[in-house]
Amino acid sequence: MRNFTFIFLLISSGIFSQTIQMPTIPAEGVNYETVTLNAAVSVSAEGPWDFSALNPTSESVISMHPIENSQYSTSEYPNTTHVKYFMSGDQEVVQFPGFTENGYSYNGENSIIINNYSTPLTIMPYPFSVGDSHSDAIYQVEFTCPICPPYMFRDHEITTEALGSGSVIMPDGSVYDNVVLVEHVAIFTDAQTGSSPCITTRTSHFWWAPDLGIPLVETFTQDSTGACSFDSVQFSRFYTGQSDFFYICQPSMDCSFGDGFQQFSLAEIDNSSGCEGYGDFTDQVANLDPGVTYDLTVTTGYGDQNLTVWIDFNDDFTFTNDEKVITNYLIAPGNFNGTFTETIDFVVPSDAPEGEHLMRAKTNWDAVVPDDACEVTDFGETEDYTVNIGTLGLNNLNSLEMSVYPNPVDGNYVTIQTPNNGAKEIEVFDILGKRVLNTNLISDSLDISELNPGVYMVKVTIENQSKVSKLIIK
């Protein structure tokens, strides 16, 4: 949870004013759960603000985590401290905010449009008190989008003002005190050089509460004029809680010279691939038994490749040294261009926990593979797969194990069985760590009809014990 420190300053009228300081975001990141309303709420400068009569129903998650733990490069987005993920309709939005002692900044996005701000656009300086105002702008930022012509540029101008403070009553009746209302007006001017621009004006209001890393409440209206005629948009979002952040880093490296994997074969996995940099092949599963040695056959297109393989035995989405099953095996030492194939002993530890786990294979040219499985090196490749260790019989499951089937699934329901009776708390996360489903099951049948095809993590909790497994929806 991000912690906002509010300093209460006594002013001449005897009213206390709140000051927003730089937030502290957990090192592992956080998911903020919200409900939304496709309408703007009325705004007055002074509280209390009462939203208890509203009934927002659409649930969504805003995920925030440090950029160094993401697939995005700090060299590409040098002013960014975090990556922010959320959904806008059916479109996933990825934004690059910065939180420093000087202020909260915006540094571009990689979703509906793709751009990168060479200098940060400061949205709100720190500290920021009731009565303070701020303006900033950045011009001629090049961007692309799927439906845009080439050579598009954006001017982004913003003004921000802290209007007042007071209490907020949420739609569920929860009350938050010492909340600061901030108004933010953004003007986006988009065009090719010399052409008529499309001008979009977005007026937002954010209610910031102590100890929250996103606005307690946000609402905005958006209108476009000029060379475009988009429909007006109104939107409001309300904080409801937070959950743990799950994220699988995806380090992409340069394999254009042939470094990395052209073939990866282990048990049922027999994968031919090109140069992906990072390859998500988690839909391919190797069935393995504890204490057994298997043949791993790897083909690479360049020599001097160090290979390390991890299995995420504890299912915490982090690959650690004690989870290495192959450490810096050197393929084709002293060679350069060419195709090299080697077969390596792949030993499954005798105490390996049963069930499905993520497996990561990573190469590095002319140097050892870093212990940090998320680290990007100059030349190499990363590929992720799935292993299923042991045979899980439905009658000999222990309290931390479960069976999920069919998996992969191409229907609307999946069966989740555990050895214990009673309600199961089911949480489903997408590959970016966003919780997309949260429900309690009395039966064994989970309705997944609202989920899109893809790879998910299913967390089942029963009697205060949990287990995470991967689910593939076709």
**Facing residues of 83 across strands?**
65
Which residues are bridge partners to 384 per DSSP?
280, 360
- What is d(CA 232, CA 229) in angstroms, rounded to the nearest whole number? 9
Domain ranges of the chain: 9-244, 263-389, 403-473
Find residue 263's DSSP bridge partners.
272, 299
Q: Give the span between the Cα atoms of 368 and 363, in whole angstroms.
A: 8
Distance CA 432, CA 277 (A): 18
- Distance, in Å, from the CA atom of 94 to the CA atom of 238, rounded to the nearest integer, reads 20
Report yes or no: 208 and 4 within 8 Å, Cβ to Cβ: yes
Per-residue pLDDT 10s for the chain (474 aa) are 333 333 333 332 333 458 888 888 888 888 889 999 999 999 999 889 999 999 998 888 888 888 987 768 888 898 999 999 887 776 778 999 999 999 999 999 988 899 999 999 999 999 999 999 999 999 999 999 878 888 999 999 999 999 999 999 999 999 999 899 999 999 999 999 889 999 999 999 999 988 788 899 999 999 999 998 889 999 999 999 987 776 677 888 999 999 999 999 999 999 999 999 999 898 898 999 898 899 999 999 999 999 999 999 988 788 999 999 999 999 999 999 999 999 999 999 999 998 889 999 999 999 999 999 988 899 999 999 999 898 433 233 333 467 888 888 888 999 998 877 778 889 888 766 677 898 998 888 999 998 988 778 888 888 777 777 778 887
The pLDDT, as a whole number, for residue 18 is 84
pLDDT value of residue 90: 64
Per-residue pLDDT at 433: 63
Q: Which residue has the tokens 């709420």?
A: 41
HEC-encoded secondary structure of the chain: CCCCCCCCEECCCCCEECEECCCCCCCCCEEEEEEEECCCCCCCCCCCEECCCCCCCEEEEEEEEEHHHCCCCCCCCCCCCEEEEEEECCEEEEEEEEEECCEEEEEEEECCCEECCCCCEEEEECCEECCCEEEEEEEEEEEECCCCCCCEEEEEEEEEEEEEEEEEECCCCCEEEEEEEEEEEEEEEEEECCCCCEEEEEEEEEEECCCCCCCCEEEEEEEEEECCCCCCEEEEEEEEEEEECCCCCCCCCECCCCCCCCEEEECCEEEECCCCCEEEEEEEEEEECCCCEEEEEEEEEECCEEEEEEECCCCCCCCCHHHEEEEEEEECCCCCEEEEEEEEEEECCCCCCCEEEEEEEEEEECCCCCCCCCCCCCEEEEEEEEEEECCCCCCCCCCCCCEEECCCECCCEEEEECCCCCCEEEEEEECCCCEEEEEEECCCEEECCCCCCEEEEEEEEECCEEEEEEEEEC
pLDDT at 147: 80
Question: pLDDT value at position 344?
Answer: 96
From the list 213, 238, 227, the residue with the least C-alpha distance to 58 is 238
The predicted pLDDT at position 419 comes to: 76
Q: pLDDT value at position 394?
A: 29
Q: Which amino acid is at 283?
A: D
Let me know: does 334 contact 303? Beta carbons within 8 Å: yes
Question: Cα separation of 63 and 85, whole Å?
Answer: 5
Q: What pLDDT is recorded for position 320? A: 93
Second-level CATH architecture of 403-473: Sandwich (2.60)
User: Does the fold of domain 403-473 match that of domain 263-389?
Assistant: yes
Q: What is the pLDDT of residue 52?
A: 96
Among 431, 300, 318, 311, CA closest to 374: 318
Pick the CATH number of 263-389 from 1.10.287, 2.60.40, 3.30.110, 2.40.128: 2.60.40
Tokens of 393: 């019989």
CB 423 within 8 A of CB 462: yes
Answer for the pair 207, 181: CB distance below 8 angstroms, yes or no.
yes
Q: What is the gyration radius of the CA atoms in the chain, in angstroms?
A: 25
What is the structure's pLDDT at 14? 30
Phi, psi dihedrals of residue 184, rounded to the nearest 5°? -135, 120
Would you give the end-to-end CA distance of the chain in angstroms? 34
Task: Please list, in sequence order, all residues whose beta carbon lies within 8 angstroms of the beta carbon of residue 206, skipping any fewer than 6 positions away.
Answer: 181, 182, 184, 215, 217, 218
Residue 282 to residue 446: CA distance in whole angstroms: 22
Tell me the C-alpha distance between 64 and 437, whole Å: 18
By the 8 A CB rule, do 460 and 466 touch?
yes
Q: Say how far apart CA 195 and CA 4 lie, in whole Å.
A: 44
pLDDT of residue 87: 79
Yes or no: say if 263 and 298 are a contact pair by the CB < 8 Å rule: yes
Q: Dig out the tokens for 403 from the structure.
A: 């069976």
